[in-house]
Structures are given as structure tokens and as C-alpha cells.
Amino acid sequence: MHELGITQNIVAIVSEHARGVPVKRVTLEIGQLSAIMPEAIRFCFDVCCQDTVLEGATLEIVEIPGLGKCRQCGFHTGISQPFGICDRCGSAELEIVQGQELKIKEMEIEEICV
């Protein structure tokens, strides 16, 4: 399960950017063509957050649908696999333009009163 290593990296990156301030929420964008299972990330998140500034943080995942652009006619079409057929001209020459991403979209930290 490569999602464990991915989740560990996400926690490390967010922890670094939080600079010791407790994190309340993390929002990820995961493309449906990325070969990353959102449910596996959710499963690993709490375990990976233990004893870090993310402990107790909420994880939000936004799934980004796959989108391909036909190299023949330029039409954009939704795809659910890394390959597909253009809905307009029937070409199998699709360039993936969306759906392979994994992004830490945002993080919310606790307000600190000084």
C-alpha cells in the first residue's frame, strides 16, 4: 500500500509548514486517475498524525475527475481511466489534462493568542 508512504510525506510537509502550530484541518485534492485511493489515505491519516502537530486534525479530500483533450479535434472529454475515446471524433489519442494530481490544497492552523 503506497498510500502509507504518501500520507507520511503529506504529514511531514504540512508539519514543516505549520512551524510547530497545531493544525486543525488539511484539504487534499486527489485526481481520480492518480492511482491513489482516497479511502486508504483516510485510513492512514490518523495513524501518521500521532505525536505531530496534526494530531486530531480533520482531513478533507476533494476528488478531481479525469479530463482528456483529444489530440485530433481538441475536444475535452471526461475519462475514468488513463486512456479513452474522444466523444466527438472517436480518436483514441487523448492527452490527460486533469485527474492525475495530488495536492495539499490548504491547511488550517489553530489561532494562537499571544
- Report the CATH number at residue 59: 3.30.2320.50
In a domain, 50, yes or no: yes
| 37 within domain boundaries | yes
pLDDT band at 99 (very low <50, low <70, confident <90, very high): very high
Is 72 part of a structural domain of the chain? Answer: no
> In this predicted model, what pLDDT tens digit does every residue of 37-81 receive, in sequence order?
999 999 999 999 999 999 999 999 999 999 999 999 999 999 999
Residues contacting residue 9 through CB under 8 Å, at least 6 positions apart: none
Phi, psi of 94 (to 5 degrees): -105, 135
56 inside domain: yes
Q: Say whether pTM exceeds 0.85.
A: yes
Cell 485534492 appears where?
29
Give me the number of domains the chain comprises.
Answer: 1
Amino acid at 82: P
Mark the binding-site residues, compressed into ranges.
2, 70, 73, 86, 89
C-alpha cell at 4: 502509507
Domain that holds residue 53: 3-65+99-109
Does residue 12 lie within any of the structural domains?
yes
Q: Which residue has the higher pLDDT, 84 or 6?
A: 6
Binding region for Zn(2+) = 70, 73, 86, 89
pLDDT at residue number 1: 60
Q: Could you tell me which residues are annotated as the binding site for Ni(2+)?
A: 2
